[in-house]
Structure 1
Amino acid sequence: MIRYDALDALPVRSALPALTDALDDRGTAVLVAPPGTGKTTLVPLALAGLLDEAAPARRVVVAEPRRIAARAAARRMAWLLGEKVGDSVGYTVRGERVVGRHARVEVVTTGVLLQRLQRDQELSGVDVVVLDEVHERHLDADTTAAFLWDVRQALRPELRLVAASATTDAEGWSRLLGDAPVVEAEGVSYPVETVWAPPARPVRPPHGMRVDPALLTHVASVVRRALAERTGDVLCFLPGVGEIARVAGQLGDLAGVEILQVHGRAPASVQDAVLSGGDRRRVVLATSVAESSLTVPGVRVVVDSGLAREPRVDHARGLSALTTVRASQAAGRQRAGRAGREAPGAVYRCWAEAEDVRLPRFPSPEIKVADLTAFALQAACWGDPSASGLALLDPPPAGAMAAARAVLSAIGAVDEEGRATDRGVRLAGLGLHPRLGRALLDTDGAGAEVVALLSEEAPRDYGDDLAAALRAARRGGDAYAGRWRSEVRRLRGTSEAVEADDALAGTVAALAFPERVGRVEGGSVLMASGTRAELREGSPLRGASWLAVAVADRPVGKGHARVQLAAVVDEETARTAAAPLCTEGEEVHWADGDVVARRVARLGAIELTVRPLRDPDPGLVRAALLEGLRQEGLGLLRWSPDAVVLRRRLAFLRLRLGDPWPDVSDDALHARVDEWLEPELSRARKRADLGRIDAGAGLGRLLPWASGEAARLDELAPERLTVPSGSRIRLDYSDPEQPVLAVKLQEMFGLHESPTVAGVPVLVHLLSPAGRPAAVTADLASFWKDGYKGVRAELRGRYPKHPWPEDPATAEPTRHTAARARRQEGDEGTRLRR
């Protein structure tokens, strides 16, 4: 018997006429309905015609992002109809299908619907598809929406699509679905009081999978406070299973209170208990699975840790994992709304009010941050390898798609143009990540147990040894072991059961992650990808020679990754699984200050065998020498004093006059090495040979000989200047902005203007008779007029034998003392009289 009283109480009923009109008119609609309004349960029943005998009978598929939500929605709808699950309403999740012959509503996960679309693009027999909770932006959901839009456009324009969510980018989804009408349902929301409950002392921010234990202790204390201050059940949001277990342990002494743990791995019995209510007061510790789709009866209080888990991928290291992040403002609103579903409630937020405005507005779309290998394979099988033609709210990042295509190409899933091969189509149909699918196919199904273990994160207490974890799953009686056995049965299908041994565990891990096979060196493993991963203290894997690393992460701020799960392999298995990474060839490079020439057999970054190379390829040697010059600088060449001066003179002319004078900076000289270091460089074989190459002679080749300007080098940037005393003084071009002339003051007597070079006044360092700096000027006339008197007063008493005329501008320049100068003048007069 249909429970009309419960159906009539659902607020979304008022939006049904507008939704029906939108679908009749446009075939698409965006339904925005607050939590608890019945969008997940009432809407599919109404669209299927199950509530009105006069309504047309339709077959409706509802896509949910999670298995727990799919099961719960189907059970709720069956209860509203007064039926068993499987009669009019059924569900299908991976490894489980409860759908009767006459079912009109089927609730599936988005992953299941994606697989179904690949097998049957027309989605035969389906009249309406409802994509629920699209605001969560899961990759499967975005992909499914894009494929369904293609189906409507090309194959089945009569297929009706509804994108439904409590909080979403309604305008974006409307545009995506061909300007679909937006239908909003007003919910009966009870007021929810916000209580800010930050920790008394600062806690460390989350990084990787780690959450500060002090924060979890604080969350547990806030739960106790909420129980004391409020009535009703408490729903506490935490980022993951480990944090739920830790907080549950700290609340274990609560008398008369039932502690329930809800997450994707929770057994069905626990999920049923949470959704059906109970006699005792309850504390429900949940991950984000309880943010939407599920109504937990009896909840009046929400305690929000403010944390969530999102996927991240490190393409450079080939590592992908979940990471802990601050939950978005949208998620915070969703969580708080759970407290006001049935009556006024309260939300205790475990952070300061001032921090709230700094939180991200929405969660990161998975397509922007996750591993896209499975997505790229789905797109290739759909016929759009680049995904450029898919209707997506956010395009896939180019780098992530390139990394995904590289993986797919390596496992034979796509051809050179990126199109799906027959093997790729088969891999896409397995319901596994393509890496794990490759391992399953290449072991002819024998690796099903190991693949099942790797397809879902194993409990931490299973350890980091994959073979040992497999044995733990076989004997385990926990919920994880139950799901593992179910997945093994699904993967095996009708094939003969084979129990994987330790060697097969390593083979499967190596086939799935060939770039992560590695050699153990001390307490770490160097993987073929070049990434080094640390092994835990006391790990049994430390005694192995080779490992295949199945799961690893890289803690924030750490240079190396950390092994989470790996299996022992031998070198032969590693070579076979990672055959495309095996290379052998000549390696000539600059290392430890000289040219190193070797013949090396490699498995990616791992050196297998090394032999000296006695007659290396001259081109490789030349490249190594250039590498050395780049690393250690041009100082490896022989720079005579004249060569250094020449380079400085050329740098000055380049700065002041530009072309055709050459750029002699390090970068420019590296770029023109063929012009100035040949043929000497081609004859060099080692560091010592570089030290014999005359850099000055090389620079001479860069002078503008063709234009004739080279002949003006001494004119424009002379090496020496003749001063009034007759001395030829070397110019210092160390500063290319302005050459420096260091000369004794008496030698400049009689010179009215400062000398110039290429139009630039020389900076004159006037020296005392002892050669010490006395004054610096670029304007000699001004110095004689204003600065000389002070210098004369200071130095006259110190050097009385030297001339200190009152008017230096008219005095005779000299390199000698006053007496010697007079003798020279007398000798000159005598010579003239004679």
Structure 2
Amino acid sequence: MSPTPFDLARIGAGLPVAGVLDDLRAALAGGTAVVQAPPGSGKTTLVPPLVADLLHGRGGAGRVVVTQPRRVAARSAARRLAHLAGTGVGDLVGHTVRGDRRTGARTLVEFVTPGVLLRRLLQDPELPGVGAVVLDEVHERGLESDLLVGMLADVRQLREDLVLVAMSATLDAPRFAALLGDGAPAPVVDCPAALHPLTVRWTPAPGRRTDERGVTREFLDHVARTAAAAHAEALARDAATDALVFVPGAWEVAQVAGRLRERVRGVEVLELHGRVEPAEQDRATAGRGPGEPPRVVVSTSLAESSLTVPGVRLVVDSGLSREPRRDAGRGMTGLVTVAASRASAEQRAGRAARLGPGEVVRCYDERTWAAMPAHLTPELAAADLTGAVLLLACWGAPGGRGMSLPDPLPAGALADAVEVLHGLGALDEDGRATATGRLLARVPVDPRLARGLLDGARTVGARTAAEVVAMVSDDHRPPGGDLARLLADLRSGRAPGARRWADEARRLRAIAEELPATAPAGAPPAAGGAPPAETAAGAVVALALPDRIARKVGDTYLLASGTRAGLPAGSALAGHEWLAVADVTRAAGRAAAGTGAVIRAAAAIDRAVAERSAEHLLSDEVRASFDAGRVTARRVRALGAVELSATPVRPTPAAARGAVRAAVADRGLDLLGWSAAADQLRRRLALLHHHLGDPWPDVGDDALLARLDEWLAPELDALADGARTARTDLTDPLRRLLPWPEAARLDGLAPERLGVASGSRVRISYPAADDPGGRPVVSVKLQECFGWAASPAVADGRVPILFHLLSPAGRPLAVTDDLASFWSGPYAQVRAEMRGRYPKHPWPEDPWTAPATARTKRRA
């Protein structure tokens, strides 16, 4: 078979990666390879047509599918390769991204997003018609890209003819080589960097970069001023210089771009992020044409490595990034602004030195640079895993078991995802996908939003459900957190990204009309009919995220999950009792109303919608509590953690006992109080357990709480029946833990008192129960030990007693566990210092022969 129509020499002209094509051809003889090349080296442009050429030159068939981490990168890469190949997009080179497919019968190279390829794999794991897959930018460690690594490694066990190539811009290549190799690591082809000299300048802002609300406006002003000044200086040296400014998110891009347009003249300011309309994205990545003005492109990390912005000789870096983070304690996941990694900052800076000498201006200082993390946090380690776990369950590998993933799924996030999917009916007891789960997996959004789309179509109509899900699944920032207002702005075309939202809504509507609801076939709409138009958006959100239904409690909102959150200041939602919350994130200060969380996006609902949408969270039960020494009970109807009604009732005996046990387990045994006798017995038992072990019981807090019914049941039952806590003595209950027949030896192994030389019996102070290294102490007047050479010990002689020898006034004079050594040495100095202060008490020169006494010399 003849080679493909791609002219590799023409396509690769001037690209550093062209120098390693022979090495790559040799490496691909085994069917897998990893290409390590820095951003801007041309790997995305040249490697896919080379792989297509190899396939067809060897008589193979099939398309080369290339993944790009973002839609704009997939479209940009397809456009550039098609231009170099002398064809239009959709002919030899095409792309498929969400809502936009341009391929044809002649297409040999197709650029796609990871999500597109994941769903193709679920539809048909053999990937018919595909001869090779190239995973680009695997170093970014996107969640979907990581899943593809494992799934494609599985596919290659079935299809040895499938060629796999992974491409990385960092030194992560050996990790992926090991994952893709069959028995031995895949060959790694390294393309050295072709950087020109790079000048680094540090211009830190005078104030903070971020606060509890996000990136400060003062810092954005600083970035804009710095970019304007640096670009003006660069243009004075070279009029061909374009600038690239990195900020963390779409909102910051708009803010900095707006400020730059106010400051600069004769310069085109462009915005580049995932929410910009495709035509504007293409404009930013196409490069400056002849006669066009200089450009400043303000971008998110999109331009960091996954696509190239031509003509850039100046980079201005905020040093910030927006990454997914999961708050397991509050059940929240969202994008948060964090310090970029040093690896990311290096890649950003490198964009300025691809074509010639360049400059990077960092809007932070060298101390901040040193504190930045070395590498990007993999999305798998920090994000919500619900969608990923459903995909793996549909793939037949619950939790990723048996797969060659770059990292295992974190146990905590995995357990949370499984719990959510069980709640959706998407997983069976073995963790495999149910029919409902497979249905939800066919919708290209989070499984919870998929449920909101499919079930919401039955209650508010497919159009409204699709519009709401399209809105919530994108990174919009509704004013005051009000989704209903944002929906109105999107419908009217006033909101940024309205055209793309409309396209996505139409696509989701078609899916909703094609697929059935997740409710049983033929099930009628929820009782009560369709909600009012003003709560329709909230109804869809409530169906998707029932655990985030919230009720106003005072000045804040309590979510069904148990999280408390505040609204942004001045939000129009503040007057509503019930909200369906789409986005709640960690925050501090006034933004969170003292709750630690702030509602970023929500819509109003009423109680009826709340109860219909979260029917599985409704409960009606008697809740008893033990407080201030008495048991009280209420009959509570609740939606998760949100109480709907509560009526005082008489607690049942079982409920009362449960309340007492729960209170003790929650607040500890100090709730009952330790008498001196009980505390002493506990200390004695603890010392024996620490030094002799079994069968002497562990009497630490955790151990005692774990065995409450074994030793404290009668007393707990008495409290449940109305006994007062002040009358509860734990001495006798502790004795129930004594091992028999060993209990008979307790007083011998750990006596309460010690007989000293004077004949007195002095109390032994045992160490605290949680102090395994502590020593028993006897505090006794020095004169009571004259002539005593013994070194007493407890616990079968294993733990020497520590003597605190006291003055006649009870003040410590010496601490020793070796009395014989004390009399022979330090005693002489103590005698010299004390005999004049306490002349009425004996201080003999020879303590060995003096009688031990507790009395003065006259009384003796």
* TM-score, normalised with respect to structure 1: 0.86
Q: How far does residue 810 in structure 1 lie from its aligned partner after superposition?
A: 5.6
**Aligned residue type for 2:544:** A
Q: For 1:79, what is the secondary structure of its paired residue? A: helix
Q: For 1:316, what is the secondary structure of its paired residue? A: coil
Within 1, Cα distance between the matches of 2:743 and 2:724? 33
Structure 1 counterpart of 2:518? none
Within 2, Cα distance between the matches of 1:652 and 1:106? 72
Q: Determine whether 1:510 maps to 2:552.
A: no
Structure 1 counterpart of 2:607? 571
Within 2, Cα distance between the matches of 1:669 and 1:571? 44
Within 2, Cα distance between the matches of 1:675 and 1:161? 61
**Aligned residue type for 1:177:** L
Equivalent of 1:319, from 332, 335, 341? 332
Structure 2 counterpart of 1:182? 188
Q: For 2:83, what is the secondary structure of its paired residue? A: helix
Structure 1 counterpart of 2:616? 580
Q: Determine whether 1:85 maps to 2:117.
A: no
Within 1, Cα distance between the matches of 2:435 and 2:224? 53
Q: For 1:141, what is the secondary structure of its paired residue? A: helix
Relative to structure 1, the CA distance from residue 470 to residue 689 in structure 2 (aligned partners, 3 Å threshold; closer, same or farther) is same
The question of whether the paired residues in 2 share the 8 Å contact of 1:233 and 1:282 is answered with yes
Q: How far does residue 489 in structure 1 lie from its aligned partner after superposition?
A: 0.6
**Aligned residue type for 1:38:** G
Structure 2 counterpart of 1:345? 358
Q: For 2:120, what is the secondary structure of its paired residue? A: helix
Q: How far does residue 431 in structure 1 lie from its aligned partner after superposition?
A: 0.8
Equivalent of 2:471, from 443, 449, 453? 453
Superposition map of 1:535-684 within 5 A: 535-555=567-587, 559-592=595-628, 594-618=630-654, 621=657, 624-625=660-661, 627-628=663-664, 631=667, 633-634=669-670, 636=672, 639=675, 670=705, 673-674=708-709, 676-677=711-712, 679-684=714-719
Structure 2 counterpart of 1:829? none
**Aligned residue type for 2:274:** G
The question of whether the paired residues in 2 share the 8 Å contact of 1:95 and 1:487 is answered with yes
**Aligned residue type for 1:458:** H
Superposition map of 1:461-472 within 5 A: 462-472=479-489
Structure 2 counterpart of 1:690? 725
Equivalent of 1:164, from 163, 167, 173? 167
Superposition map of 1:59-98 within 5 A: 59-98=63-102
Relative to structure 1, the CA distance from residue 395 to residue 676 in structure 2 (aligned partners, 3 Å threshold; closer, same or farther) is closer
Relative to structure 1, the CA distance from residue 57 to residue 14 in structure 2 (aligned partners, 3 Å threshold; closer, same or farther) is farther
Within 2, Cα distance between the matches of 1:340 and 1:803? 91
The question of whether the paired residues in 1 share the 8 Å contact of 2:804 and 2:815 is answered with yes
Within 1, Cα distance between the matches of 2:346 and 2:802? 72
The question of whether the paired residues in 2 share the 8 Å contact of 1:315 and 1:400 is answered with yes
Q: Determine whether 1:385 maps to 2:420.
A: no
**Aligned residue type for 2:249:** G
Structure 2 counterpart of 1:196? 201
Q: For 1:48, what is the secondary structure of its paired residue? A: helix
Q: For 2:645, what is the secondary structure of its paired residue? A: strand
Q: How far does residue 494 in structure 1 lie from its aligned partner after superposition?
A: 7.6
Within 2, Cα distance between the matches of 1:700 and 1:47? 78
Q: How far does residue 538 in structure 1 lie from its aligned partner after superposition?
A: 2.0
CA deviation map 1:539-569 (0-9, x unaligned):
1211111111111110268752100011112
Within 2, Cα distance between the matches of 1:280 and 1:637? 80
The question of whether the paired residues in 2 share the 8 Å contact of 1:300 and 1:339 is answered with yes
Superposition map of 1:415-430 within 5 A: 415-430=428-443
Equivalent of 2:116, from 102, 107, 112? 112
Within 2, Cα distance between the matches of 1:258 and 1:670? 69
Gaps of 5+ in 1: 822-834
The question of whether the paired residues in 2 share the 8 Å contact of 1:22 and 1:181 is answered with yes
Q: For 1:390, what is the secondary structure of its paired residue? A: coil
Q: For 1:583, what is the secondary structure of its paired residue? A: strand
Structure 1 counterpart of 2:37? 33
Q: How far does residue 609 in structure 1 lie from its aligned partner after superposition?
A: 2.6
Q: For 2:624, what is the secondary structure of its paired residue? A: strand
Equivalent of 2:566, from 520, 534, 545? 534
Structure 2 counterpart of 1:269? 279
The question of whether the paired residues in 2 share the 8 Å contact of 1:681 and 1:690 is answered with no
- Percent identity for Structure 1 against Structure 2: 44
Q: Determine whether 1:480 maps to 2:497.
A: yes
**Aligned residue type for 1:361:** A
The question of whether the paired residues in 2 share the 8 Å contact of 1:238 and 1:308 is answered with yes
Q: For 2:598, what is the secondary structure of its paired residue? A: strand
Within 1, Cα distance between the matches of 2:831 and 2:395? 88
Within 2, Cα distance between the matches of 1:104 and 1:409? 41
The question of whether the paired residues in 2 share the 8 Å contact of 1:588 and 1:621 is answered with no
Relative to structure 1, the CA distance from residue 680 to residue 125 in structure 2 (aligned partners, 3 Å threshold; closer, same or farther) is closer
Relative to structure 1, the CA distance from residue 271 to residue 55 in structure 2 (aligned partners, 3 Å threshold; closer, same or farther) is farther
**Aligned residue type for 1:448:** A
Relative to structure 1, the CA distance from residue 69 to residue 683 in structure 2 (aligned partners, 3 Å threshold; closer, same or farther) is same
The question of whether the paired residues in 2 share the 8 Å contact of 1:766 and 1:773 is answered with yes
**Aligned residue type for 2:35:** L
Within 2, Cα distance between the matches of 1:352 and 1:616? 65
Q: How far does residue 363 in structure 1 lie from its aligned partner after superposition?
A: 1.4
Q: How far does residue 630 in structure 1 lie from its aligned partner after superposition?
A: 6.7
Within 1, Cα distance between the matches of 2:167 and 2:108? 19
Within 2, Cα distance between the matches of 1:788 and 1:386? 75
Structure 1 counterpart of 2:526? none
The question of whether the paired residues in 2 share the 8 Å contact of 1:649 and 1:733 is answered with no
Structure 1 counterpart of 2:215? 211
Structure 1 counterpart of 2:765? 733
Q: How many residue pairs are counted as aligned between the two chains?
A: 803
Q: Determine whether 1:292 maps to 2:305.
A: yes
The question of whether the paired residues in 2 share the 8 Å contact of 1:653 and 1:717 is answered with no
Q: For 1:130, what is the secondary structure of its paired residue? A: strand
The question of whether the paired residues in 1 share the 8 Å contact of 2:149 and 2:406 is answered with no
Relative to structure 1, the CA distance from residue 656 to residue 43 in structure 2 (aligned partners, 3 Å threshold; closer, same or farther) is closer
Q: How far does residue 394 in structure 1 lie from its aligned partner after superposition?
A: 1.6
Equivalent of 1:397, from 393, 400, 410? 410
Q: For 2:263, what is the secondary structure of its paired residue? A: coil
Within 1, Cα distance between the matches of 2:407 and 2:582? 30
Q: For 1:91, what is the secondary structure of its paired residue? A: strand
Q: How far does residue 433 in structure 1 lie from its aligned partner after superposition?
A: 0.9
Gaps of 5+ in 2: 515-529, 768-773
**Aligned residue type for 1:218:** H
Relative to structure 1, the CA distance from residue 787 to residue 586 in structure 2 (aligned partners, 3 Å threshold; closer, same or farther) is same
CA deviation map 1:613-660 (0-9, x unaligned):
424234752662573387364573583x66666666667777888777
Q: Determine whether 1:706 maps to 2:741.
A: yes
Structure 1 counterpart of 2:771? none
Q: How far does residue 521 in structure 1 lie from its aligned partner after superposition?
A: 1.4
Q: Determine whether 1:242 maps to 2:251.
A: yes
Structure 2 counterpart of 1:824? none
Q: How far does residue 427 in structure 1 lie from its aligned partner after superposition?
A: 1.2
